[in-house]
Amino acid sequence: MPTALLIAHCPLELPICGVYKAPKRWPVLFCVHEVMQQGRSMHAGQHVLRRGNCPGGTFCRAGGAGGEVEWTVPKRCTKTRIVVGGVVAGIVVVVGALCATPVWRYKASKIKGDKLEEKAAIVPRPLLQTKARVFSLEELKKATAQFHPSNKLGEGGFGIVYKGTLLDGEQVAIKKLSIGSQQGKQEFLNEVNLITSVQHKNLTRLLGCCVENSERILVYEYLHNKSLDTFLFGEARDSRTLNWSTRYGIVVGVSKGLAYLHEESHVRIIHRDIKPSNILLDDQLNPVIADFGLARLVHNNATHINTRVAGTVGYLAPEYAMRGDLSEKVDVFSFGLVSLEILTGKQNFHSSLLTWVWEKYSHKRTLDLVDEKLGIVFFPEQVVRLVHIALLCMQENPKQRPAMSMVTLWLSGMSDILEMPHLFLLTPSTFLGCSLLIYRVECNQMRA
């Protein structure tokens, strides 16, 4: 029997049989849910609403703050259920009282944070299933041989990544942040705990962190295969060509990971830096998105407009690169560009990729875009579909770009694509006089 556990600011004499409506002066504090099979999730304001079958055959519904609470059961409800319901309700209210204070205290501390992510980012969840492990600096030094260069896996805008081996033999990836966090120790740990609780098969697992003195270090699961860029453009390209099915599967997996971050996770995250080097591949060459949530840790005072740009030139959406306008559609744009790179095997820095793609697409010669290393081994229908979707994702107007959940449906063939992409951004005068060569931004304000 699927279950749903409701915690609300309601009196203990809440009748388990019949219907109870809480007055508006009794706000719903939070809902904790465990819907295992048939429950349906909805969102209203800062509260997660769950509909499902409650213990004892009941049906429950929780409104947002100032809303209503209803518990109903079939007419054949027995006295036994009433007794059990009373006990459960009592336990639930006690748990709610113990957990409500730290939850709302944490929520209050976020008011001055990123306004865009604040609107619906953090749903009060007092019973997180996963908590980040806190490592000592000495422990991580031993794991990396004092952060020896031979253990260096890579370096990005946020810091250097090392391969490490913990005392129990577990291999991990250790990212030593080079950008100082603007948060205190406890605030940083709170953010790490939130990111640790975001789990999906297409997202890297954050295991824990180290916060000592000025050091801010993150510890991730270690994946033996390197990042996608090495297979497309680097050392692994010649020795291990990704076949078409693998490439299409990578595109689908990345779309699912982004859809989870944008729309399904309890903490809303905009990645801001989707690119091949931030897409790792596991042993089966499934994609795993890395570095999500890092912008929250180092740019926690950013707002949804005119934010400090965090990303890689060449993959930035124009509205973000030029004006700092941040939304989920920034990731959608980057996803479209990465999809074209996966399809063509060409990096956007080295050629007029978008111009070439648009020319072939508009002349109905889309199949000419397929990476020559694949020969003729691919599915033409999927190629045409992928190019169509990628161009929609890269529309100049963010409002014309689809949501990642819709992209996932299109890629799977579960929904028809009705929109048509528009030609855009092909003149040097576009966007405040900045010169864009296939979104490679070259303007004074980006050099500043």
Whether the CB-CB separation of 378 and 366 falls below 8 Å is answered with no
Residues contributing to the annotated binding site for ATP: 176
317 C-beta neighbours (distance < 10 Å), count: 27
**With 70 as the cut, is the pLDDT of residue 225 above it?**
yes
* Dihedral-angle region of residue 233 (phi above 0 means left; psi in -120 to 50 means alpha; beta otherwise): alpha
Domains of the chain: 1-109 (no CATH), 133-221 (3.30.200.20), 228-447 (1.10.510.10)
**Torsion angle defined by CA atoms of residues 29, 193, 307 and 162, in that order, rounded to the nearest 10 degrees:** -170
Closest CA to 6 of 37, 28, 32, 34: 32
Exposed/middle/buried for 282, CB within 10 Å: 0-12, 13-18, 19+?
A: middle
Tens of pLDDT, residue by residue over 170-179, are 999 999 987 6
Of 35 and 368, more confident: 368
Of 60 and 276, more confident: 276
Active-site amino acid positions? 273
Of 131 and 260, more confident: 260
Query: Is 0.75 topped by the overall pTM?
Result: no
| Average pLDDT, rounded, for the chain | 71
pLDDT at 165: 97
Tens of pLDDT, residue by residue over 101-135, are 444 444 444 434 343 333 333 333 333 345 789 99
Please compute the mean of the pLDDT values over residues 309-324 and round it to a whole number: 81
pLDDT at 105: 45
pLDDT at 74: 39
Q: How confident is the model at residue 97 (pLDDT cuts 50, 70, 90)?
A: low
Question: For tokens 């909805």, what's the residue?
Answer: 42
pLDDT at 411: 96
SS3 54: strand
pLDDT at 93: 54
Q: Which of 44-48, 237-241, 253-257, 392-396 has the lowest mean pLDDT?
A: 44-48
**Torsion angle defined by CA atoms of residues 49, 52, 58 and 64, in that order, rounded to the nearest 10 degrees:** 10
**With 50 as the cut, is the pLDDT of residue 300 above it?**
no
Composition of the chain by helix, strand, coil, percent to 5 = 35, 15, 45
**With 60 as the cut, is the pLDDT of residue 292 above it?**
yes
Q: CA angle, corner 370, sides to 364 and 372, nearest 5?
A: 130
pLDDT at 448: 32
Provide the token pair at 300. 């926690």
